[in-house]
A = this chain, B = another copy of it.
Amino acid sequence: MPYFDAASAAPLHPVARQALLAALDEGWADPARLYREGRRARLLLDAAREAAAEAVGCRPDELVFTPSGTRAVHSGVSGALAGRRRTGRRLVVSAVEHSSVLHAGGAHATAGGEVTEVPVGRNGAVDPDAFAAELGEGVALACLQSANHEVGTEQPVAEVAGACREAGVPLLVDAAQSLGWGPVPEGWSLLTASAHKWGGPAGVGLLAVRKGVRFAPQGPSDERESGRAPGFENLPAIVAAAASLRAVRAEAAAEGARLRGLVDRIRARVPELVPDVEVVGDPVRRLPHLVTFSCLYVDGETVLSELDREGFSVSSGSSCTSSTLTPSHVLRAMGVLSEGNVRVSLPAGTEEADVDRFLEVLPRVVASVRERLGGGGPAGGGGGERGDLVVDALGKRCPIPVIELAKVIGTVRVGGTVTVLSDDEAARLDIPAWCEMRGQLYEGESAGPGGGRAYVVRRAS
């Protein structure tokens, strides 16, 4: 039963399992104690810190272990912002950061701070110059992920880090998706990661803060982890996390190249096998194991459950909730189609045969869902002579508004308009995306008569 959602959580790496078992026996005591069980635990903790620091590319005393990648981000952002409060209260982030970064920004805004989101292109990457342009007065911290968790696009970390250095602004790099695949480009001030993304156990995040970066931990603290992560250390999991990071790194080059080939195959074949599909994310500067595409006239949730029935575990839309009524903030920021969104992220060791079977099953699944929803008929190109048309899709959820639009666009004359009335959040993103895909003209939206919004599409062909 192929599991293709490594970007959510990777199955436990055998090395992580071995290390965890050993550490359950050797590392259960309090490393702050001076008796032998405590000293033994301390040795394990120190060794794990050294191994993790080496993989991250920092000094052991710059790195602490947190209970999760999310907690590492929350502590890193709040500590760095507080450390530079005198400089200012502006936080600059990319629009496609992980929700943990956006939530930390939200808390900062609630506390009276200012958050600036740097937009991304259709490929999901920020423009380094656009990012640099935001690093003006009063910026306390900038955040940029190493690679995006939903579409796999690598961010220009080195360039942005250079701009941050010039502006004297510390840069926090969320390396959750990439750390298992290799080191992060030089120039970061703070770095965060999450063990269960690279095959380590749950319960372990990393927070590295370069010496010299002003950092003031927020909230209550204790003497553990340099006062940056309170609470009894989860030592067996920490040992397993460090051991597995070293192990996956050793395999990263070869396995990364192999998975990159499999993902290239998916990227090439899906558009050939499934009509009306948009493969999103940068085709070259991307994570080796992750690909995302969106299919017109289907909803991701149904496609997911159909694929699950066929034995494939993939995710859709936002990578942080199992189902949501609003489209992923990442796809929205990219301005790409969100309906029928499927993210495939291959764990290390994925069989080529499973990928081929996925490519065999997917077209069938999408076709059956489209048939059920009545979507996917010929859109545009009809010899329609009708004048302007209004489609009332109020109360109907994605992908129905787009399906209704596609059904009628061919019935109006070229130059005529179809106005879609919809109160579905996804329509705001998917109707323009549909126009882009189908070569029709999107004329914009306005407040609809019966509530919701009115989206105007002019038939171009």
- A100-B222, A103-B221, A230-B74 as given contacts; A322 in contact with B203, CB under 8 Å: no
Give the copy number. Answer: 2
Whether A232 and B9, one on each chain, are in contact in the complex, defined by CB atoms closer than 8 angstroms, is: yes
CA of A314 to CA of B11, assembled, Å: 39
Residue from B36, B107, B230 in contact with A219 in the complex, judged by beta carbons closer than 8 Å:
B107
A137 shortest CB reach to chain B, Å = 25
- Contacting residue for A70 out of B9, B12, B222, B235, CB 8 A: B222
Find out whether the CB atom of A24 lies under 8 angstroms from the CB atom of B17. yes
Identify 16 new A-B residue pairs, CB closer than 8 A, beyond the known A12-B25, A17-B24: A5-B37, A8-B29, A33-B315, A34-B322, A35-B314, A67-B203, A70-B231, A70-B232, A71-B230, A99-B222, A103-B220, A107-B220, A194-B232, A202-B235, A205-B231, A234-B234
Q: In the complex, A107 Cα to B227 Cα: how many Å?
A: 13
Point out the residue from B36, B67, B322 that lies within 8 Å of A33, measured CB to CB. Answer: B322
Chosen A-B contacts, 9 in total, with CB atoms closer than 8 Å, are A5-B33, A9-B28, A33-B313, A35-B313, A67-B71, A67-B234, A100-B231, A203-B237, A234-B237
Residues of B within 8 A of A222 (CB): 70, 99-100, 103, 320
> In the complex, which residues 42-87 of chain A have their Cβ closer than 8 Å to any Cβ of chain B?
67-71, 74, 78
The answer to whether B220 and A5 touch across the interface, beta carbons within 8 angstroms, is no
Q: Mark A241-272, 1 if CB is under 8 A from B, else 0.
A: 00000000000000000000000000000000
Chain B minimum-CB-distance residue to A240: B24
Cross-chain contact B304 with A104 (CB below 8 angstroms):
no
- Residues on B with C-beta less than 8 A from A69 are 231-232
Enumerate A380-397 residues with CB–CB distance to B below 8 Å: none
Q: Mark A1-24, 1 if CB is under 8 A from B, else 0.
A: 101010011111000010011001
- Whether A68 pairs with B70 at a CB distance below 8 angstroms is no
A5→B30 CA distance, assembly (Å): 9
Asked if A196 contacts B28 (CB within 8 A), the reply is yes
Band of interface residues on A:
35 or more
A133 within 8 A of B: no
Q: Please, how many angstroms separate the alpha-carbon atoms of A230 and B320 in the complex?
A: 11
> Cβ of A315: which chain B residues have Cβ within 8 Å of it?
33
Q: Is the CB of B28 within 8 A of A220?
A: no
Residues of chain B within 8 A of A312, CB atoms compared = 35
The reply to whether B100 and A230 form a contact with Cβ atoms under 8 Å apart is: yes
- Bound together, the chains give a CA A202 to CA B23 distance in angstroms of 11
Interface positions of A from 193 to 249, Cβ below 8 Å from B: 194, 196, 201-203, 205, 218-223, 230-237
**Chain A 304-333 interface mask (CB, 8 Å, partner B; 1/0):** 110110001111000011110000000000
Residues of B within 8 A of A219 (CB): 74, 78, 107, 218-219
- Chain B neighbourhood of A221, CB < 8 A: 103
Q: Is A38 an interface residue (CB 8 A)?
A: yes
Query: Chain B residues with Cβ under 8 A from A273's Cβ?
Result: none
Most B CB atoms within 10 A — which of A104, A234, A320?
A234
Residues of B within 8 Å of A37, CB to CB, are 3, 5, 313
**In the complex, how many angstroms separate the beta carbon of A49 from the nearest chain B beta carbon?**
16
CB distance from A121 to the nearest CB of B (A): 27
Complex CA distance for A232 and B321, rounded to whole angstroms:
11
In whole Å, how far is A341's beta carbon from the nearest beta carbon of chain B? Answer: 14
Judged by a CB distance under 8 angstroms, whether A32 is at the interface is yes
Enumerate chain B residues within 8 angstroms of A162, measured Cβ to Cβ. none
Give complex CA distance A68, B66 in Å.
Answer: 11
Alpha-carbon separation in the docked complex, A315 to B32 (Å): 11
Q: Does A106 reach chain B (CB closer than 8 Å)? A: yes
- B38 & A236 in contact (Cβ 8 Å cutoff): no
In the complex the two chains form, what is the Cα distance from A8 to B224 in whole Å?
14
- The 10 closest A-B CB pairs, nearest first, are A67-B67, A68-B231, A203-B234, A70-B231, A35-B313, A103-B220, A107-B220, A203-B203, A35-B308, A202-B234
Check if A202 sits within 8 Å of B100, measured CB to CB.
no
Which A91-107 residues have a C-beta within 8 angstroms of B? 99-100, 103-104, 106-107
- Per the bound structure, the CA–CA distance linking A74 and B1 in Å amounts to 41
Residues of B near A38 (CB, < 8 A) are 313, 322
**A69-B232, A219-B78 known; A28 and B11 CB under 8 Å?**
yes
Cβ A8 vs Cβ B33 within 8 A: yes
Task: Judge whether B237 and A202 touch: CB under 8 Å.
Answer: yes
